[in-house]
Copies of this chain bind each other. A is one copy, B any other.
Amino acid sequence: MNASEFRRRGKEMVDYVANYMEGIEGRQVYPDVEPGYLRPLIPAAAPQEPDTFEDIINDVEKIIMPGAASPACTELETVMMDWLGKMLELPKAFLNEKAGEGGGVIQGSASEATLVALLAARTKVIHRLQAASPELTQAAIMEKLVAYSSDQTAPCTGTVPALEVCGEPWSLSSWHGSWWGRQMVATLGTTTCCSFDNLLEVGPICNKEDIWLHVDAAYAGSAFICPEFRHLLNGVEFADSFNFNPHKWLLVNFDCSAMWVKKRTDLTGAFRLDPTYLKHSHQDSGLITDYRHWQIPLGRRFRSLKMWFVFRMYGVKGLQAYIRKHVQLSHEFESLVRQDPRFEICVEVILGLVCFRLKGSNKVNEALLQRINSAKKIHLVPCHLRDKFVLRFAICSRTVESAHVQRAWEHIKELAADVLRAERE
């Protein structure tokens, strides 16, 4: 949506809200719909081509408003998580639609998703150990718990905060392996350099050893809607839980972290909570999903509306085109860097991130970063890779074009020349 379209549609939405407020006394306080009303009203998968904005707004009035906040909020979320799961070609075991064992839920952040997965894993393993060895004390069980992740995985995307919450905080200085929970956290697309754990290696081991496998693809997950990147997700069939953040790279506004589990009872077993004032007549019907048992907070925002609008306004093809454009632009930047013998590419460029540096000392690269960020025309965030100070060029704006990449590279080259001159003097 460009700015002039946004002006028109935004103002229509303001009127829509104002009309709603003016007419609110004429509305029922509780909807007439029955649990499960929503799914039959909308398609089973996201459209390939864009829908019109009119169609979407008409559907809000026709499909959402009769279901008000509840159950529409929950039911749209289960369907949107299925739409998204199908875009990613997730194994069916992760989908809600078959009223099977799995399902998807929107969390606020990858940290929360990882934390919830860790807690579910902990509860599950504790129950298993208690059943197998009733003589074990709580302390003895806690001592047996271990979690694993790679050193690149951990500091990114919420794994560390999640582990800090669950683990024994005084063992945090030793990153690699050996905390807590029969649990493995694998990362697809690390924050530092967008590297990928190999699920086809790690997955079968986890399954054989009965280790909970959580896969975090916070940034990279969006790319898996393109068939040419889907292979990076191969092995997710071995995972117990998976999450990525559509707010990072799928045009859904912050915050929206999509999480799927193979067995929803693993989550609800860890969080279930039923005081009288939260009971309702459908809770044991098997017809509905009580997302409050799937998360830390009790309250929830209607985040699936954002997904519904975005998926329909772009269509799957539009979203794929968006991802491909970013990847193509990062390769464009990569080839500019490769043409300049003063620079090197540090990690294979797979998605929208280019890790590069001046051949030479960390000091000269730190000086370059300092100049770039002081000039305030572009902004780069660095990282360390095996003690090397590395610059990260990330393609992530909705409106980025080739001209921006070219201009940024010219700017970087100029400043690099300044830095190298200063170093020689």
Contacts and interface: CB of A to CB of B under 8 A. Distances in A.
A14 interface: yes
Copies in the complex: 2
A158 B298 contact: yes
Contacts of A270: 164, 169
B273 A126 contact: no
A34 interface: no
Interface in A327-386: 373, 376-379, 381-384
Interface of A is mostly: helix
A162 to B, nearest CB: 8
A28 interface: yes
Nearest to A382: B276
B3 A378 contact: no
A132 interface: no
A185 to B, nearest CB: 15
Best-buried of A109, A115, A160, A165 by chain B (most CB within 10 Å): A165
Given A22-B3, A123-B169, A126-B169, A109 B29 contact: no
B161 A109 contact: no
Interface stretch (A36-44, A138-146, A416-424): A138-146
Interface of A: 3-4, 6-7, 10-11, 14-15, 17-19, 21-22, 24, 28-30, 32, 108-112, 115, 119, 122-123, 126-127, 130, 138-140, 142-143, 155-158, 160-162, 164-166, 168-171, 191-192, 254-255, 270-271, 273, 275-277, 296-299, 301, 373, 376-379, 381-384, 389, 392, 399
B29 A378 contact: yes
Contacts of A157: 298
